Chain A
Amino acid sequence: MFAKTGALAINYGNQQQVRGMATLKAISLRLKSVKNIQKITQSMKMVSAAKYTKAERDLKQARPYGEGAKSFYEKAEVAPVSESPDKILIALTSDRGLCGAVHTQVSRQIRNELCEDPEHTRVICIGDKSRAILQRLFGKNILMVAHEVGRKPPTFVDASKIAQETSRYNFSSGKIIFNRFKSVVSYTTSELPLFSQAAIAAAPKLSIYDSIDSEVLQSYMEFSMASLLYYAMKEGACSEQSSRMTAMDNASKNAGEMIDKLTLTFNRTRQAVITRELIEIISGAAALE
């Protein structure tokens, strides 16, 4: 957006030498529009700051939940079974942009994984942004897309819906790729593993667990997938809001800089116009004498 207006500024610069008055008008119009942009980015920053505080509060609650859901897989030493290479990747993004590189980071990681094995890897896009990025090159690898993500904070119901849809597909291993929130200014793209029931049944340490039948295992897995998704969605939402906050803060700062520069040019041009008019009047009067 700003790059385009930058190109326009050069045009105005050329005009200045031709017609002073029009440039004055043009500059004041542009000044006004930049001021409006700044107002918008500022209010977007305020909105995302409010959303961020809520998301962070939610995340504090969700972290132990996610750790708990993850710990069984770590402690039972579950590893993907290698017989079928089918892999599923869940990209956790949202519908909304203007938030720095959060969506690009997730999509880039997925793209790298897809490049390794495009035949057997399938993608589930949560949020329109990842779909928009991945569709052009890997359209046929996308299994499903979830819309309406990111407007409201994610809920457990959302997560369980996604988990239910995901469990329809057969896969031997999977990954949830999301942005893990670290602080207001930083996040890292990380992943949570997903396993098929066969992989869990084949886990070396499963035998020490008592009284497990396949029904319990299946219910357990369904619930744990929803829990992991819920946790990852909370992390993603928090990173997104914090990143949008920073992005909008920067945009407001940049707009402020532009306003300063434009005001300076505006004043200078106005002064030039006045001077020129004075010269015209004075030289006109001098010619009459």
Chain B
Amino acid sequence: MASVGTTRSVLRLLSSQPILKQAVRGYADEMAFTFAAANKVFYANSNVKQVDVPSFSGAFGILPKHVPTLAVLKPGVVTVFEQDGSSKKVFVSSGTVTINEDSSVQVLAEEAHPVEDLDASAAREQLSKAQGDLSKATSEQEKAEALIAIEVAEALVAAA
């Protein structure tokens, strides 16, 4: 009797494992979305409908079961569509996007802020300051830095 009991519990243990794994993995149209910046975490392994990201190879939308890829973020707005249909817009300065084959998506930004927190006038100020820096820049490196600053500021102005 006792042996039957133990074998049954062992069987239960064995059978419960794959079920657990499945629950973590989720079914086909689910994605584990992580969106974090150095200053804040927006999503950690949460399930969302769609994510639109700006990348250097063009902006693209990510749905569950996207083909695995790597991309580099461009300054711009990441739009996250949540399961309940609401959307959230977050400005990112730079970073990376990783889509893995198990449908997990990582968006890592250097800095990110919700679009509603941006100040349009401050952004324009930033843009004119960056343009001033570019005209003053002498070395190649300074020029490149100013160009990056302009790129970010332009994206900021467009987003705010």
Contacts and interface: CB of A to CB of B under 8 A. Distances in A.
Given A209-B69, A212-B70, A223-B72, A65 B36 contact: yes
Contact of A210 (B38, B67, B95, B110): B67
A13 interface: no
Interface string A40-79: 0000000000000000000011101101110110011000
Q: What 9 A-B pairs are tightest by C-beta distance, nearest first?
A: A68-B106, A156-B38, A65-B36, A64-B44, A75-B100, A210-B69, A210-B67, A219-B72, A68-B34
Interface of B: 34, 36-41, 44-45, 56-57, 67-72, 94-96, 98, 100-102, 104, 106-108, 110-111
Contacts of B37: 65
Nearest to B105: A68
A267 to B, nearest CB: 57
B34 A64 contact: yes
B7 to A, nearest CB: 36
Given A64-B44, A65-B41, A219-B96, 17 more contacts: A61-B36, A65-B36, A67-B34, A68-B36, A72-B98, A156-B38, A208-B68, A209-B69, A212-B70, A216-B56, A220-B70, A220-B98, A223-B94, A223-B96, A223-B110, A224-B96, A227-B38
B36 A64 contact: yes
B108 A227 contact: yes
A220 B104 contact: no
A65 B41 CA distance: 7
A205 B101 CA distance: 9
A217 interface: yes
Given A156-B110, A209-B69, A75 B36 contact: no
Contacts of A156: 38, 110-111
Contact of A68 (B68, B102, B108): B108
Contacts of B107: 68
A171 interface: no
B68 A210 contact: yes
Interface in A193-232: 205, 208-212, 216-217, 219-220, 223-224, 227, 230
